[in-house]
Amino acid sequence: MRLEGKTAIVTGAGSGIGRATAKEFAREGAKVIVGDIDGPSGEATAADIEKDGGDAHFVKVNVADYESMKNLVNQAVAHFGKLDIMHNNAGINSPPHSVMDMPIDDYQDVVNVNQNGVFYGIKAAAGAMKENGGVIVNTASIYAYIADRNRFAYHASKGAVVSMTKSAALDLARHNIRVTAIAPGLIETEIVSEWKKNPEVWGKIEKAQMRRKAGKPEEVAKLVTFLASDDASFLNAHVHYVDDGAAAFKR
């Protein structure tokens, strides 16, 4: 078990990538704090882990609020005694507007969760890890690197996650805290459910993938678990694609 004896927080763990990662962390022996803004889905993830014999505890968090993030980290330390792994994963999609028509409030909502939420998570977790070291894994996106139409706020926020990952890795190296990120491509979760509702739209999207299909949250969770483990002890500051090659070719 690669995470035996470790304590981890996963934000956005009520659904999709976060849920799969929380479960994979637990399977690999970690004690997991399930963080999510949605009570019932977060509780369900924690219950699922416990049912499978793991150790999990749900804490409600709004990652866009630093006080709430600090409470999440404090509760993790209070509950399990320490914090070794932080997966800053919670995120929301961009309302579909071009840059010219983007309402300021909509832009700020996306940045508050996807960008500021990652900053708050790094800052709060680093405070708890500074004596004994640790690992922080941030969820970026291939949309930090390639652009799609009408998703300006999402691109802006995910680009920032890439830069914050590098900067934080450099600042926190002296505390033996590694900071890495992942860049998922199309993954079948709630966040893409609007597209999935329309079979024609979804068919087109899947066809544009290299092997004509979306990824599963569990396929992302395997990468996050590797990055969080000592198997990745010399990996730092970089972003790791998990996109079946989507960001590597012209569509």
Q: Per CB under 6 A, does 223 bind ligand NAD? A: no
Q: Per CB under 6 A, does 244 bind ligand NAD? A: no
The binder of ligand NAD chosen from 3, 7, 8, 11 (CB under 6 A):
11
Q: How far is the CB of 159 from ligand NAD (least distance, A)?
A: 12
Which positions are annotated as active-site residues?
154
Q: What number of other Cβ atoms are within 10 A of residue 224's Cβ?
A: 30
Q: What are phi and psi of 115, to 5 degrees?
A: -100, -60
Q: What are phi and psi of 177, to 5 degrees?
A: -110, 120
Nearer residue to ligand NAD within complex by CB, 5 or 204 = 204
C-alpha triplet 166, 171, 175: angle, nearest 5°: 120
Nearer residue to ligand NAD within complex by CB, 93 or 130 = 93
The binder of ligand NAD chosen from 8, 172, 179, 186 (CB under 6 A):
186
Nearer residue to ligand NAD within complex by CB, 106 or 190 = 190
Distance CA 115, CA 111 (A): 5
Whether the CB-CB separation of 88 and 181 falls below 8 Å is answered with no
Q: Per CB under 6 A, does 229 bind ligand NAD? A: no
Q: Within positions 38 to 67, which residues make up the interface with ligand NAD, using CB under 6 A?
A: 38, 41, 61-64
Nearer residue to ligand NAD within complex by CB, 3 or 221 = 221
Q: Within positions 187 to 216, which residues make up the interface with ligand NAD, using CB under 6 A?
A: 187, 189-192
Question: What track of x and - describes contact with ligand NAD for positions 98 through 127 (by CB under 6 A)?
Answer: ---------------x--------------
Distance CA 169, CA 60 (A): 27
Q: Print burial letters for 52-89: b (CB count within 10 Å at least 16), e (below 16).
A: eebebbbbbbbbbbbebbbbbbebbeeebeebbbbbbb
**Sign (positive/negative) of CA torsion 32, 116, 238, 251?**
positive
Judged by the rule CB under 6 A, the positions of this chain that interact with ligand NAD are 11-12, 14-18, 36-38, 41, 61-64, 89-92, 113, 139, 141, 184, 186-187, 189-192
